[in-house]
Structure 1
């Protein structure tokens, strides 16, 4: 327990708390070690109260009127988010106080608030680097134009403002050091390790297979960068060309491309073989993944996804599921022998890898056991929590 209670304000713009599991794990860990924790985040995902206290953590939320698309939409969204975050930061300051601002991107604009309180109020600033936004922009729009360069500039200013930065993996740590100019001793890797008390192994629900022998599971966002179109092409090839009509695909998650992907399944003539659940409660997600014989990650091979660690990979591993994904750097670092790796953005090769696992139950078992043990012995959140606490120790030691 800390001798003097430290106070932390966590800023999140893209997801509400406690829905954002990484942020919530960080918040609850800090709280359990004696920190007073407040969070400012948007409403959504069923969390609509402007204020509530959950597990001793103070959560202040603001409403964003729409989910942005396009440059103008993001400009409006981020301007509103900054206004509300700054407004609520003062509310937290006077009601609970804070010694540290812990800002999670996107966007790379929260340094404006962190910098304000750092310069004028002598507060410390931690940058929690969740997304590499220049690469995300390039992946979405296919160009390195003025806006790309602007994002690189915002990222650099964020790192320059930060007293300490937190990276989700070694690729992000290199970016913090090489592109952001951070002192390596001030960059801490805190992976988004799952908690096994949440990801429980439960009996399968056979009706989710829709009368077929095998279920291929996916959980995640239905967006442009998640490669659901490639997964549907792989499913079509597996079913129609390779003749595997004994498989069903269960895809869990919502997003801007959900309606488009449902229509694509119809256009491909495989809609009878695919269930889109949309966003569902954790229990239904667990039922789908526990029933799955194989889990897939079709994330598009690009600079963004190659350098990013995907939570779904570790969730699949935590549940002992063999995985098929494209050959991406951080995906291989996480999964190792728990996954087969298809050629980048090649749906036919993904289908072939799925077929290989369908026909080899012993390999499926070995891969699932390897993944489960890797999470239990190396990747679970309890192994990452000390790194988070070390980052705070470094920043607060400097302060004292």
Structure 2
């Protein structure tokens, strides 16, 4: 099993490529939770993610023959970029297989770091099958995204940095996909400071660990469905699972809505951009998915910031909806002059800001004398939305809340 000495040995290789990322004390999230929150900013890492650490350590350990043959890997994006950069820095040829659903920003970034990219399959697991075919056909070394002790050891350097910068830490909260990150971090943290709590967080749509722990062996999901594409893995690894079972104190899950809310809060209050996977530790903290003490010192590991801009737009809007700051309403008006003005007067009086209006006289679901109206509104929270709906209904409007 991976040990602290393995992580210590990885430090030199990691230091050659990766940055020692900062811990940022957040007054906002500390106040919201009654704790002392220090964000570990791996979104500020080279390639925008922690993955370059494990990739650098694994590639450093290649033999001369393996370096000559090159490496191959599969990744949804972050590991791809880490392998591409680490391999290019080491003068090793790299081929990366990415799912066809991988964000275009991550595909472009991987190519820019010097790797050859092939798109294959609907998710990480199908991409990995193709990468193994390339491994066999071309004699390349497969660099696993998580289930490799050299990769795990490289990721564990995050735990060493946290304890060096913040010895008084009580709890470290880490996202779980395949388990490479939390295995390394838990090994480092428990090896240096056994009393520090390590909490793992999965997305509900990719939550295989609880079932695996319950049954005592790795269980795989048939499919995954989450906005946190960086941890959208069907199951943890054979090497990572025993470490999780032995060294992680608790594993919890968060919903996509909770992830979106945390991401929006990080943007708006923390001035920090993360991807879905990077937001899950904070989402778990903000929603109280695990028990913590008032005044406790907590480090959520913000594992990456490589979010696709199209997804970011969707996530931000989802977060605003969940906070009651954006709503879409539908109602029906009499198709006569002034009817729309009267409705808008009510919205103005309730201080709802209008993003867009769609006014449709042709909808067959309404009477010939009526018109359907859909409104996109900026609101100020759930209470404001409830008050607005109450006022509209009191004025005689039948209102349907669309989002």
TM-score, normalising length: structure 1 = 0.29
Q: Which has the higher contact order (CA 8 A, sep 6+)?
A: 2
TM-score, normalising length: structure 2 = 0.29
